[in-house]
Amino acid sequence: MEKSPLPFSNEIEQFEKNDSMSPPPLGAILFAGSSSFRMWETIEKDMEPLPVINRGFGGSTFADLLNFTDRIVIPYRPKIIVVYEGDNDLMAETAKAESVIESFNKFVQRVHSKLPETKIFFLSLKPSPSRLNLWPEMTKVNAAIAKLAAKTEKLGFIDVATPMLRNGAMRKELFLEDMLHMKREGYEIWTNVIKPVIEKAWSKH
């Protein structure tokens, strides 16, 4: 019986095809994760002059990213990785914060087994109005990984969640109609928060 292809295989194959025609730089900054990265169409311009590779795909989960780590993470030998996963993981009925934290640890172990010097930043899960019911679990994920990163040299945590809230409330004006994906205003917040952190880490390489 023929094995069915992994979810998002087509997108990964397209990345590989593009890479074969126009190889991205080795040792750059890799953004890996789900659709919040995939839809960030201005990321290269927003992060200039930093060398950035965007490998956001589908509505991926950590399991999907782990499936393709050896294909769209390791080959680039990035000096820095910014990862955004966990948002979609929590949509599964049985998913809890602990499972996302465990998946992040697996990703870190997988990367560091091949690239021990790579700094991995976890981008905090964002407060999306459509996922208000998941926000308590998301805040647990954010707090736990922030704590882990604070005591681990090759890990970092970037908090985009706090500036996306106003007086603790979610800001619908930052989001598209689906109240999950962001408008330009949301990505401007992300740029303003992420870029200085990455610039500082990049200057140490």
Q: Where are the domains of the chain?
A: 9-203
Please confirm whether the linkage preceding 116 is cis (ω < 30° from 0): no
CA distances 182 to 67, 128, 159, Å, are 26, 9, 16
pLDDT surpasses 90 at 50: yes
Mean pLDDT of 184-194: 98
Mean pLDDT of 194-201: 98
Name which of 138, 126, 141 is nearest 182 in CA terms: 126
Helix or strand (DSSP H, E) at 54: strand 52-56
pLDDT surpasses 90 at 27: yes
User: Is 111 in contact with 82 (CB distance < 8 Å)?
Assistant: no
Instruction: Give pLDDT, residue 4.
Output: 73
pLDDT surpasses 60 at 80: yes
pLDDT surpasses 70 at 21: yes
SS (H, E, C) 75-92: HHCCCEEEEECCCCHHHC
Whole-number percent of the chain with pLDDT over 70: 99
Paired tokens of 38? 């995939």
Paired tokens of 169? 């409330």
Instruction: Give pLDDT, residue 205.
Output: 74
Mean pLDDT score of the chain:
96
User: Is 112 in contact with 73 (CB distance < 8 Å)?
Assistant: no
CA distances 203 to 80, 102, 127, 198, Å, are 11, 30, 30, 8
Classify the C-alpha dihedral 180-181-185-187 as positive or negative: positive
DSSP lists the bridge partners of residue 156 as 121
Whole-number percent of the chain with pLDDT over 90: 95
pLDDT single digits (tens) 87-109: 999 998 888 999 999 999 999 99
DSSP lists the bridge partners of residue 200 as none
Instruction: Give pLDDT, residue 5.
Output: 85
CA distances 40 to 31, 63, 109, 188, 192, Å, are 10, 21, 27, 10, 14
Q: How confident is the model at residue 2 (pLDDT cuts 50, 70, 90)?
A: low
Instruction: Give pLDDT, residue 155.
Output: 98
pLDDT surpasses 60 at 7: yes
pTM, full prediction: 0.97
Look at 2-11, 80-89, 162-171 and tell me which has the smallest mean pLDDT: 2-11
CATH superfamily of 9-203: SGNH hydrolase (3.40.50.1110)
Q: What is the dihedral of CA 180, 96, 112, 119, to 10 degrees?
A: 50
CA distances 9 to 46, 57, 142, 170, Å, are 28, 10, 29, 34
pLDDT single digits (tens) 164-182: 999 999 999 999 999 999 9
